[in-house]
Structure formats: C-alpha cells, structure tokens
Amino acid sequence: MDSPFAVLDTPRNLADAAYGTLKRDILDFRLAPGDRFTETEIADRLRVSRTPVREALFRLEREGYLEVRQRNGWLVKPLDFDTLDHFYELRCVLETAAVRTLCAPGQIPDPLRALQPLLDTWLVDAEDYSHDGDWLANLDERFHMDLVAAAGNPEIARVHRAATERIRIVRQLDFTQPERIARTYAEHGAILTAILQRDAGQAIALLQAHIGDSQAAVRKITLHRMYATRRAQAA
C-alpha cells in the first residue's frame, strides 16, 4: 500500500505532514504521556523516510511535547500535575504584575497602542470567531505572552515565556471543547477592556478567574483522555 504522504513530494511538505500527524497523535493521546518510540517505528508507520520524521520530532521537542533519549529513542513528556500547577501559578503571578503595570497611570504612556494587536484579535463579533483549535491555542498563548510583553519588562517576559512553554502540552487541549472557544474570546475581551479603563482590580480578577478556569478545564480533559487511552489499551 502506498504511503498516504506519497503525494507530498518535497522534504518540507513531508516534514510538515509528519509533524501534523504526530502532534495530533500526542494531543489525542494516541501517543500518550510516557510512551517511548523510535524514529524508525514512526517512519515505518507513516511509510516515509526517517529524515522528515526526524525533523518533525525535533520540532515537537522544541515545542515541549517530546524528549529525545539518545540511547532509547524518543519519549512523550510525562505529565506531572503538581509541576504543571506550579507553572500555572507562576504565570498568574507574572501576568498579574503585568496588568498592574499596564493599568498604572504613567507606567505605559499609550496602553491602547501597546495592546492594539490583541484588541484586533479578541474584541470581535461572534461571527468572526475562529474555530480552528490549533490556531486558537497559538493565539491564546500569544495573548498571554503579548500581554506580559506590553508591560515593558523583557526579563519578566522571558521567564513568563519559559513557564508558558512548560504547560503547552496540556493548554492545547483547552480548545478541543467548543464552549471554551466562545468563553475565551469573551474573557480575553473583558480583560482587555478593563485594562484600557485602567481598572486594575477588575482586570486582575478577570485574569485570575480566566487562568483558573482554563487550568481546571485542561486538567479535566487531560485526565479523561488518559483514562480513555488506558481503557482502550487494556481492551
């Protein structure tokens, strides 16, 4: 049987296709946290050479989904919920500090200008909402990182970016649920509106509730998928 990637006749297209397939396998827990595999096993399954597979795997490693084990192939990063909770807490502290700065008179001369790209993305009518889960996960990540960056402290932004990368594997799951999409647009819009009104108390309360709701949602989705995967493997 021919490879389903046979029509993708360039190395770039093959690597992109392998990346997309493997990322979806990870997010759908077909490659579950703690699973080990080799490049050869993946190449055989996808029926492509090891070169595009290797490129896809290193891309997923950079995004925080995989670890490379020189003697044992590759590992889907195990989930440690205590550690994930610590990174969520760190993100919340850093983003709260950024919101205080953005709301403080004189700290940011023109917060509207600093936040305009976020306003253009999130303060839109419901018919303009995107429903592409992968795209929205990236946009959501950019919202939080750009919010911190707008406060003007590059070192805080650097630490926040590192914390964000550590929880990326579970945060992607937030946009597999349709109701979370509309809620995220509404919550981001409300946070931005409060910041522009320089209402720090309201903006911080909205931000903390938003992060807490997302944290609870992805934990629930993750545990459900892990349970379903283990049941399927045991059947």
* 8 Å CB contact between 29 and 74: no
Phi-psi region of 76 (alpha: psi -120 to 50; beta: other; left: phi over 0): beta
Residue written as tokens 């929205």?
136
C-alpha torsion sign, points 150, 155, 157, 158: positive
* pLDDT at 48 (0 to 100): 94
* 8 Å CB contact between 18 and 48: yes
DSSP letter (8 states) at residue 75: E
* pLDDT at 235 (0 to 100): 67
* pLDDT at 79 (0 to 100): 83
* pLDDT at 178 (0 to 100): 80
* pLDDT at 154 (0 to 100): 96
In the chain (235 residues long), the average pLDDT of successive 10-residue segments reads: 59 89 87 91 94 95 86 87 92 97 90 92 93 88 96 96 86 79 94 96 98 90 78 72
Phi-psi region of 78 (alpha: psi -120 to 50; beta: other; left: phi over 0): beta
> Mind listing the pLDDT tens digit for each residue in 206-232?
999 999 998 998 888 888 877 777 777
* pLDDT at 6 (0 to 100): 56
* pLDDT at 107 (0 to 100): 87
3-state class (DSSP) for residue 68? strand
* pLDDT at 144 (0 to 100): 97
